[in-house]
Structure 1
Amino acid sequence: MIRYIYPDGTHCYRALHTTHAVYRSDDGRLLARADKADGSGPYEFEIRGFELLQPGVIYD
């Protein structure tokens, strides 16, 4: 799993296989590209950071 942290401090979880890319835009923003939940294709969104979660590890 990957946890995306949005600029406002909220977050969401996605399956790692839905992630296409995490990169910096030309203006320095951190962006992620991932599949939409309904499978209709990828979309891009701004993030503040991300965390890769390991199975069996409890994050608190």
Structure 2
Amino acid sequence: MLKYIYPDGTHCYRAIHSAHAVFRNADGKLIARAEKADRSGMYEFEIKSFEILEPGVIYD
């Protein structure tokens, strides 16, 4: 599971199999690319950071 942290401090979780890439764009912003929930393609969104969550570990 991945935890993406948005620039405004909010976050979301995505299944690791839906992640495609994390990269910096030409403006230097951190961008995540993931598969849409309906599997119709990819989309990109800006993030501040991300975390790979380990199975069996409780994050609080």
**Band the TM-score falls in, shorter-chain normalisation:** over 0.9
Give the corresponding residue for 2:25.
25
Query: Which residues of structure 2 form unaligned runs of 5+?
Result: none
Aligned length: 60
- TM-score between both structures, scaled by the size of structure 2: 0.96
Report the 3-state secondary structure (helix = DSSP H, G, I; strand = E; otherwise coil) of the residue aligned with 1:59. Answer: coil
Query: Which residues of structure 1 form unaligned runs of 5+?
Result: none
The list of structure 1 runs, each at least 4 consecutive aligned residues, that deviate by more than 6 angstroms after superposition, is none
Q: Quote the RMSD (CA, aligned, Å).
A: 0.6
Give the superposition deviation at 1:39.
1.4
Once the two structures are aligned, what percentage of the paired residues are identical? Answer: 72
